[in-house]
Chains A and B, each alone.
Chain A
């Protein structure tokens, strides 16, 4: 794990609240209104306002970092082999948690993606024939990211290749020619994030309707719709009747 020292990600439950009910079963808000023992009511009926006023009084936490600290991979890691095989100057390389241990992630500029991935596939030292996964990530101000998870069946190791593009120029060279498996993944990423994979053989919408080419649902600027509720006030007023 690449956690900075002293960082406590979890909200500390209040000492009294710890005994009540399941340990893992309550929100902090609920914890604030929880009595010492479940079932005994008196303290539970603290007005919500009082509970809210109490919360800021907790020991001030250090603000959580928004990004994970980056730990450079040790010498001899797979990123050096990638650089040597592709002859491309790679961007930052760092460790990302993998199941048991860490694996290496490298950042490359988008124009180098096909070269790097071809080298990963063909070079004997890497032999990464399998493209596990291709994901798009929307980093808002920092642009869009495409993440390639490669894996070598013979060497039993993988590498994560990342590339970033801006919103205005969201073009990434397609790797469908290198890994046929990428074809549908790229179509999906185009649907969801609007990343244009140049040179893709067939970039029609895959999961979305065929004419939905201007709207990218998984981008962060598309918030989820409010849920329409037929409860409480809405139900009493007979809201929703006009639908019929």
Chain B
């Protein structure tokens, strides 16, 4: 009987003293740490006004779940002498439905061209169709282009 009383006293104490830890999620967003790993995105090179990615296929090969497809092309800006990159990505798909957010693509990238999104936009990606989760190069670059993510991320 004493044990039950003590339990109830604890419940009473906590009910009176503890502040709620819940937040009203869709309206209020929890602050997420800088290292947060959402889904991989491509990083935009502001200096040369082109993506960092040269399409070297390193991430595609290292991906455990084969969620990426990379297509490389000759960089037109290199011919014009505006950029040092001889090759650049033509197409890039990442299937967010399959990605397991393991960060390996970021680790193998030699150009720091891919990073894990660390904003809430990287998490709130619900779609009605799985195929809509296959992101193409514009979608992958848009976050970084708009300056919404910290380009430093965790390279």
Interface residues on A, range: 20 to 34
Q: How far is the CB of B92 from chain A (nearest CB, A)?
A: 9
Residue contact B91 to A41, C-beta cutoff 8 Å:
no
B102 within 8 A of A: no
Residue contact B85 to A231, C-beta cutoff 8 Å:
no
* With A231-B93, A235-B134: A40-B84 Cβ-Cβ less than 8 Å: yes
For the complex, give the distance between the alpha carbons of A109 and B84 in Å: 66
Spot the interface stretch: B6-14, B18-26, B34-42, B106-114.
Answer: B106-114
For the complex, give the distance between the alpha carbons of A41 and B65 in Å: 28
A139 within 8 A of B: no
Residue contact B66 to A229, C-beta cutoff 8 Å:
yes
Q: How far is the CB of B11 from chain A (nearest CB, A)?
A: 41
Q: Which of B50-83 contact A (CB under 8 A)?
A: 54, 56-58, 61-62, 65-66, 68-69, 71, 83
For the complex, give the distance between the alpha carbons of A240 and B134 in Å: 13
Using Cβ atoms and an 8 Å threshold, which residues of chain B touch A42? 84, 86
Using Cβ atoms and an 8 Å threshold, which residues of chain B touch A45? 54, 85-87
For the complex, give the distance between the alpha carbons of A230 and B135 in Å: 10
Q: How far is the CB of A17 from chain B (nearest CB, A)?
A: 9
Taking a contact as CB atoms closer than 8 A, the residue among A44, A48, A231 that contacts B110 in the complex is A44
Residue contact A30 to B110, C-beta cutoff 8 Å:
yes
Q: How far is the CB of B40 from chain A (nearest CB, A)?
A: 14
Residue contact B61 to A29, C-beta cutoff 8 Å:
yes
Taking a contact as CB atoms closer than 8 A, the residue among B56, B95, B111 that contacts A39 in the complex is B111
B131 within 8 A of A: yes
Residue of B nearest to A40 (CB): B84
For the complex, give the distance between the alpha carbons of A42 and B109 in Å: 16
Residue contact A232 to B54, C-beta cutoff 8 Å:
no
* With A44-B110, A229-B69, A232-B69: A27-B62 Cβ-Cβ less than 8 Å: yes
Q: How far is the CB of B56 from chain A (nearest CB, A)?
A: 5
25 A-B residue pairings within 8 Å (CB atoms)? A25-B107, A26-B108, A27-B58, A27-B61, A27-B108, A30-B57, A30-B58, A30-B61, A30-B108, A35-B110, A41-B85, A42-B86, A44-B54, A45-B54, A45-B87, A48-B57, A229-B66, A229-B95, A230-B95, A230-B131, A231-B69, A232-B69, A232-B91, A235-B131, A235-B134
Q: For the complex of A and B, list the 6 residue pairs with the smallest distance between their C-beta atoms, beginning with the closest.
A: A45-B86, A30-B58, A231-B93, A231-B69, A41-B84, A25-B107
B residues whose Cβ falls under 8 Å from a Cβ of A: 54, 56-58, 61-62, 65-66, 68-69, 71, 83-87, 91, 93, 95, 98, 107-112, 130-131, 134
